Amino acid sequence: MFATRRFVPLLALVALCFQIAVAQIATSPVGLWKTFDDKTGEAKSLVRIYEQNGHYFGKVEKTLRPNAKQTCDKCKDDLKDKPIVGMVVMRNMKADGDEFTGGDILDPENGSVYKCKFKLEDGGKKLRVRGFIGFSMLGRSQTWERVE
C-alpha cells in the first residue's frame, strides 16, 4: 500500500511529461517531413526542418523519386549545379502567431526562390507550405507529412 502511494505521483509526472512532449510536437515544425509534388501528388523528398537562433530552416535529406534530378542545374549563384541532397531549401522562417513567415523557399526543379509561409495542421502531423511571389495569393501550396 505504501509503495502504491509513491507510485501514483510518479505516474502523474510521467503522464504530464508525455502531454508536454505531444504539445511541443503539435506546435513545432522541427522534424523530418515528406514533401509531395503539388501537381501529381507523388512523394518527392524528405526535408529536415531545424531551428537555429530562433529561425527555422529546411534541408533536403533524401530524394524519393528514382529519376529525380540530383543537382540543381537551374539554380543561380553558389547553388548552381550543387547536389540537391544536403541543400538548404527553406531559410529564415520565424514564428508569427500560429504561422511561420518571413523567409523563403527554393524550388530546385526550376531554381526559383519564393517568399514562404507555413502552418502546422492536424495536430502537427501536416505542414501546409505556401511559396509565393509578392502576395500570398500569387503562389502555390503543398502539404507535407511529418515522418518523425
Q: Is residue 23 part of a domain?
A: no
pLDDT at position 37 is: 87
**Spatial CB neighbours of 107, under 8 Å, sequence gap ≥ 6:** 89, 113, 114, 131
Q: Is residue 140 part of a domain?
A: yes
Q: Is residue 4 part of a domain?
A: no
pLDDT at position 39 is: 84
**Spatial CB neighbours of 119, under 8 Å, sequence gap ≥ 6:** 98, 99, 100, 127, 128
| Total of domains in the chain | 1
Q: Is residue 6 part of a domain?
A: no
- pLDDT in single tens digits along all 148 residues of the chain: 545 555 444 434 443 333 433 334 458 999 999 999 878 899 999 999 999 999 999 999 999 998 888 999 999 889 999 999 999 999 999 999 999 999 999 999 999 999 999 999 999 999 999 999 986 778 889 999 999 8
C-alpha to C-alpha distance for 131 and 48, rounded to whole angstroms: 17
Q: Is residue 136 part of a domain?
A: yes
pLDDT at position 6 is: 55
Q: Is residue 122 part of a domain?
A: yes
> Which sign, positive or negative, has the C-alpha torsion 122, 140, 78, 75?
positive
Let me know: does 8 contact 16? Beta carbons within 8 Å: no
Domain holding 102, by residue range, is 29-146
| CATH code where residue 46 lies | 2.40.128.520
Q: Is residue 78 part of a domain?
A: yes
Q: Is residue 82 part of a domain?
A: yes
